Structure 1
Amino acid sequence: MHLGRKRLGSAAAGLALVAVAGLIPSGPASAKPDISSVQARVDSLYRQAEQASERYNQARLELADLQRDLGVLRADQARQDKALEQVRERVRDSVVSQYEGQNLSAVGEMVIADDPSAFLQKLATLSSYDELQQQMYDTYANQAKALAIRTEATEKRAAQVAATRSELASAKKTIDSKLSQAQALLADLKEEERAAILSRGEIRIPSDVPASGRAAAAVAYAMAQVHDAYVYGAAGPNAFDCSGLTMMAWAQAGVALPHSSSAQFGSGPHVAESDLRPGDLVFYYSPISHVGMYIGNGMIVHAANPGTGVTVSSLHSMPYVGAVRPG
């Protein structure tokens, strides 16, 4: 009886497994990727790469400023160090002349001291300190303090340079990683499906944009780049990122803009959406990480992403933040 129950139990378990298996849909081991989900993922990766790219552009601007500051601080520190040494020599000469012919260890130690604070300590221990020129001592003390301030400022700026360089490297790594992931996703699709994703959202290019003044030169340049490639960090002549395109476009009108969308947002007066004119810069996302150029009729020209390149899109094809009028 015991063995019979065991056999019946095994048979029931087998039937249960068959029943469950029948509920599981049959299909290939790896299903074909859904086009809409791939498109959403590629869009997300491009956005993450662009955010890192604009951080890279901003950090590159900051690095240039920091390096200029560091050069000025180092030159200032060198001048202060020289001035301190000249005062030190005068103080030494004064002390030695007063103790000439005497064998005082304090004088000898003071004369060979290179550290400003140690020099002052030795000077203060001399028995004839009151006989020294008070003004000379004060001058040395002030010069030593000035050097310490300049040295601290130089070291702080050097640390900022190192941190910014690290940020640049991190941003570049993120750009490369996100772009590689997007390319891998697209590589899994058939050619026609891949083309459909990369060509979405394009609008017929207008033949005439009603721009005037300096804005006309900027708009004409930007429109001439439609269909050029998108490359992170590029600013022409045949490839651009978003802020590189707007920077080069307005350069044709004699207006210098920084190569950074967030920096360009602070480059001129802000204008309301209802007052937009062709040539105005329009900004997207929060924090700002994309910029295009308004060309009228609710459209913009912009360097979109590596899949689309420079193209014409609707003003609200992305989360709109605001606009700036350069020049």
Structure 2
Amino acid sequence: MAHTRKRVGATVLGLCAIAAISFVPATPAQADPDIKDVKARVDRLYHEAEAAQERLHDAKLDLADLRRDLNGLRADQERQDERLDDVREQVSDAVVRQLEGEGISTVGQIVVSEDPGAFLDSLSTMSSFNDLQASLLSDYDTELEALEIRREATDARTKEIAQLTAQLSAEKDTVDDKLAEAKDLLSDLEAEERERVLASRGSTTRVPTSVPASGRAAAAVQYAMAQVGDAYVYGAMGENAFDCSGLTMRAWAQSGVSLPHSSSAQFSSGPRIAASDLQPGDLVFYYSPISHVGIYIGNGMIVHAANPGTGVAVAGLYSMPYVGAVRPG
């Protein structure tokens, strides 16, 4: 009997095991996207888009410089054209005078002159007529060569502008593509999860009610802090939306300090400041190459236009890869 019970028990256990195996799916179910992974990918895409946007700002600054240079070259070329025309006219007049008989013999000139003595006094000038012609022709060649140099420089700047314009278009496409990819990634999540991702990207640091800034920095800090909660839009510089360098540019403009709309260019806007010497109002920079900028507000915090998911917010000084700081003005 005991032996029979053992056999029955074994049989039951075997059937249970078979039943359990029968309920195991043949292929593993598709795992839901991990929120941390999605957040990291969205962060990366937003930063890649911002880096492209900052390169776009740099290219626009370079383009403006090239166009100013081109305008100067064209003005210089016009002046050179005028100088060349003057020399060309002098050469033409000299040739015409010679053809009309100005080059007759010195003896003939003395004979026909009403004052042979006065003519003999200017004989040295008349005898150098051929030298004058040679000088005019030499001047003509020199001015012609100078004009050609200016034309080549103008053509080179024109080509640079065309190449940079193409680069601008490519960088703009990169910004749009990265932003679209981030939006698609977020749209694949359920609405509740998407809100969790976006919320997790915001600052958990309490926004200070006041920042002890002084001098010209005070106006810059006050303006930036007043924008907390505003939207982040690539290329924007106010009134209700900003990108990182657009916010810092507008903030310091309140103090009469002109900054370029570019984080990397703003890195050259003042003396470098050590992290231990930071004061409210200092510009702080991130990533290598530099592609993000914020404003230090004290107590190890910054205010910055973060990204499209966060907007203008307060964050920790070392919440991103820190590069350095400068003090504008």
Match of 1:120 in 2: none
Cα distance, 1:298 vs. partner?
Answer: 0.4
Deviations 1:103-145 (A, max 9, x none): xxxxxxxxxxxxxxxxxxxxxxxxxx95662221121122112
Q: Which runs of 4+ in 1 moved over 4 A?
A: 21-25, 129-132
What is the CA-CA distance between 1:93 and the residue it aligns to?
Answer: 2.5
Q: What do the CA deviations read for 1:50-72 (whole angstroms, capped 9, x no partner)?
A: 01000001111111111111111
**Pick from 297, 300, 303: which aligns with 1:298?**
300
Matches within 5 A, 1:1-327: 26-28=27-29, 30-100=30-100, 133-200=133-200, 201-202=202-203, 203-327=205-329
Q: Count the aligned residue pairs.
A: 279
Matched residue of 1:300: which SS?
strand
1:95–1:132: 8 Å Cα contact kept in structure 2?
no
Deviations 1:272-324 (A, max 9, x none): 00000000000000000000000000000000001111000000000000000
Which residue number corresponds to residue 11 of structure 1? none
Q: CA deviation at 1:243?
A: 0.3
d(CA) in 2 for partners of 1:132 and 1:205?
Answer: 81
Deviation at 1:99, TM superposition (A): 3.3
> What secondary structure sits across from 2:296 in the alignment?
strand
Deviation of the 1:96 alpha carbon: 3.2
State the 1:199 CA deviation: 2.0
Q: What SS class does the counterpart of residue 99 from structure 1 fall into?
A: helix
Distance 1:151 1:23, change over 3 A: farther
- Counterparts of 2:23 and 2:79 in 1: how far apart (Å)? 86
| Whole-Å separation in 1 of the counterparts to 2:26 and 2:209 | 54
CA contact (8 A) 1:286 1:321 kept: yes
Q: Percent identity?
A: 63
Q: Which residue of 2 aligns with 1:124?
A: none
- Alpha-carbon deviation of 1:24? 7.2
Structure 2 CA distance for aligned equivalents of residues 221 and 238 of structure 1: 12
Cα 1:25–1:279 change in 2 (3 A) is: farther
Aligned to 2:4: none
Partners of 2:166 and 2:25 in 1: how far apart? 51
Q: Which has the larger radius of gyration?
A: 2
Paired with 1:182 and 1:22, the residues of 2 have a C-alpha distance of: 38
Specify the alignment match of 2:12 in structure 1: none
Distance 1:52 1:308 in 2: 19
Q: 1:40 is aligned with what amino acid? A: A
Find the aligned partners of 2:157 and 2:74 in 1 and give their Cα distance. 10
**Are the structure 2 counterparts of residues 99 and 22 from structure 1 closer, same or farther at C-alpha, using a change threshold of 3 Å?**
farther
Q: Could you say what the CA RMSD is over the residues aligned between the two structures, in angstroms?
A: 1.9
The CA distance in 1 between the partners of 2:287 and 2:52, in whole Å, is 13
Letter in 1 for 2:147: L
Q: SS at 1:193's partner residue?
A: helix
Q: Which amino acid aligns with 1:257?
A: L
Deviations 1:145-186 (A, max 9, x none): 211121111111111111111111010000000000000001
C-alpha distance in 2, partners of 1:132/1:99? 15
SS of match in other structure, 1:199: helix
The whole-number CA distance in structure 2 between the counterparts of 1:55 and 1:98 is 63
What's the CA shift string for 1:66-87, capped at 9, x where partnerless? 1111111111101111211221
